[in-house]
Each structure stands twice: as C-alpha cells, then as structure tokens.
Structure 1
Amino acid sequence: MTAGAPPSAVRPWRRTGGARTLVRDRWIHLRAEAWENAAGAGLDPWYILDWPDWVHVLALTADDRAVMVRQWRPGLGAASLELPGGAVDPGDADPVAAGRRELREETGYDAAEYRELPALSPDPAHMNNRLRFLLALGAERVADPSPDPTEEIAVELHPVAELLDGLSRGAVANAAHAGGILLGLRAAGRIAF
C-alpha cells in the first residue's frame, strides 16, 4: 500500500479512563471512554459501540444474477437494496454457517459453494465488530423465505452487469454492502481492480 503513513509511523492512543456504559440491550452496548492520543490531546468522551459480528452474502445464480434484498431502513428513511445477511449468533460455528442460515432465512436461496472474503470493519473509529462477507456461487431457490417477524423483505434478482451499473448511481446505499459486492465480484472473476 502506498497511500498514507506506514503503520510504524502511527502511534497508538492510550485509554485514560474506564468505560462508562450509556446503553446496553440485546442489540448494542454503547459506552463512553476517555482516551489520549499520541500527541497528548484528551478525547473524552469517545464513544464505542459493541455489536456482534455481521455476515453478508453475495449470492450469484448460474445465470449471473445476484440475489439481493430490499427492506425499509429507518436511519436512511427509505427502502434499501442490500446483500442478504445479519448478525453472527453466539452459537454459530463460523461465518459461513451464519451466512448460509441468513441467506436461506431471508431469501429461500442456498448455494453449492461458499467462499469467505476479507473481513472488514464497518466503522473502525467507533465500532468493534467485523463485517464478514461471503461469495456464494451456484445459488438457487430451495425453499420459501422465513424472515424474522420484524423483517419485511422483498427478494430481488439483479443481473451482475446491472448491479455494477447501479453501484455507480448509488443504488446500493449501504457503503459496506457496496464494498462487499465489489470484493465478491472480484473473487468470482467478474471484475478486476
């Protein structure tokens, strides 16, 4: 990598105070902490969100279509085109098992082959979880979707070429999902960068 300073030039911060829990429920743990950067500047409060890891799946059918979902997102205030996925549950054996479960629940699709892609951070400044991506090849519908009672999901199949064109127009609003789509299409040999 050529951009930015080499990792050795980045000095670590030091936590100067304990964590204060602000919100804790079944979904998140929001805490405030006191930190000091390497130059000695204090940062208090610094907010950290503890989330479970998430997994999202780029599932491609034999006829080169991506299995996508559309659902309402209150933060965006609109319906959002996204990759199927969700939280990695504590009992999940691995990200592939979690992703396969989420793909089947949300879309009714399963795939012949799953590949793990690089795990990314959705917001390294404030969130401590990892966003895991999977590429699923040979996806086909094997059952009816069975989403959670709180999920209202529309399943959509998008030709890969149209999905790529849509990315350049903001059709996928979730930046992490756009990144996962690009990583998956690269792993599938559909694009190069």
Structure 2
Amino acid sequence: MAMNKHTDPEPWEVIESRYLHKEPWLTMRKDSVRLPNGKNIDDFYVWEYPPWLNVIAITQNDEIVLIRQYRHGIGKVSFELPAGVHDKPGETLLDAAKRELLEETGYGGGTWTKWMELSANPALQTNITHTFLATGVSKISTQKLDETEEITVHPMTSQELAALVEQGEIIQALHAAPIIKYLCSRQSQPGEHSP
C-alpha cells in the first residue's frame, strides 16, 4: 500500500520535559507539547522503558518452546514466549535474546533471524519489543533463573500452540502477535517445517 508522507500528521513539538519518577523499572516523564495546529497539551505523560525481547524458539523436533510463569499485574499464571529486557551495556539485541532463551529454558543454538517489532503502547511508551525467530534450537543447559523467577518450560507442537491461541491462553499481546504471524506463515507454506 502506497502512503503519501506529505499528508501524514506532523510530530509534536516538545516545549518542556521533566521526569516525575526515574527508576530502572519505572521511569515516567511529563511533557508539555505543541501540536501542529497550535494547540498545547501541558501534561502529556510518557513511560520510558528499555527495549524488550522475546523469542519464538523452534526445536530440532519442530516444537515451539513456551514458558509458564506468574504475572502479578493480572494475578495469573499464563503461557508466554521466553522473553526479557535489553538492559546490559554493550550487549546486542540478538545476544540479549539468546541469553534470555538460555536462562529461562536451557535451550540454545540454532539459526536466528529478526522476526517482528512491536510497540505495547506507542501513544505512551518509548520502547519497542523485538521478536526473534530461532529455528533448530536444542536443550543445551539447565535453566539459570533469577532468584525472583519461577518458570516452567513447555515445548509443544504448532497444532497445540494454535489451540492455545484459539482458546485465549496466550494473553500477552506482544507474544500473541508474533505467534499468530508464525502460525500464519506455516499455513502459507504447506509441507515446510519452518517459515
């Protein structure tokens, strides 16, 4: 689809910006902005986060590696992709994704490609979630969890994964979207084990 960038809305001008709270897991700033039409918004709140990462890991047996963990915000345990935060200086996004997969599941190796970029809330958050597709991974280690993590590992077939999506068991939107893209890519390439 062709887009005419000359008709796109213009960016807002930041008049003033100040931090209300600045911690590694919660950084919020208050911007005063001027819109292209001349109107001002004096209190636009923005949440700053480092980049987030998640991995669609496909084993040598063509199983997808999912995890289950408790999420305190919603008070439930749910299925998710292995995931984490890019917060180590000097580490690439790819290296961080490989580290997170290994730490959370014990799986590693394989062939890695960039799969998808998403924003949890582009209106209010600054960060992007980077999804990687890792094919041909294998169990090479035990889990190396942080002391606050309690994660179980669940390899499953694409049919089992599709059933979870259909039943609403993948409720993390930043994980559901790349999974749905992966499942759709398999349908569009019949007879192949990876997209």
Q: Same fold (TM over 0.5)?
A: yes
| Contact 1:13/1:36, CA 8 A, preserved across alignment | no
Unmatched 5+ stretches in structure 1: none
Distance 1:65 1:87 in 2: 24
Q: Which runs of 4+ in 1 moved over 6 A?
A: none
Shift of 1:66: 0.9
Q: CA RMSD in A?
A: 2.1
| Contact 2:162/2:183, CA 8 A, preserved across alignment | no
Shift of 1:85: 1.3
Any idea what SS the aligned residue of 1:145 has? coil
Distance 2:72 2:64 in 1: 24
Q: What corresponds to 1:191 in structure 2?
A: 187
Match of 2:65 among 60, 67, 72: 67
Shift of 1:51: 0.6
Match of 2:89 among 84, 88, 91: 91
Q: What corresponds to 1:120 in structure 2?
A: 118
Shift of 1:7: 4.1
Distance 1:170 1:44 in 2: 39
Shift of 1:49: 1.0
Matches within 5 A, 1:1-193: 1=1, 6-185=4-183, 189-192=185-188
Q: Once the two structures are aligned, what percentage of the paired residues are identical?
A: 31
| Contact 2:33/2:42, CA 8 A, preserved across alignment | yes
Shift of 1:14: 2.5
Amino acid at match of 1:45: D
Query: How high is the TM-score relative to the length of structure 1?
Result: 0.88
- For each residue in 1:71-92, what CA deviation from the matched residue of structure 2 results, as whole angstroms up to 9, or x when unmatched? 1111122112111010112324
Any idea what SS the aligned residue of 1:167 has? helix
Query: How high is the TM-score relative to the length of structure 2?
Result: 0.87
Count of residue correspondences: 189
| Contact 1:134/1:184, CA 8 A, preserved across alignment | no
Q: Which moved more, 1:141-150 or 1:17-26?
A: 17-26
Distance 1:120 1:114 in 2: 18
Amino acid at match of 1:108: G
| Contact 1:28/1:50, CA 8 A, preserved across alignment | yes
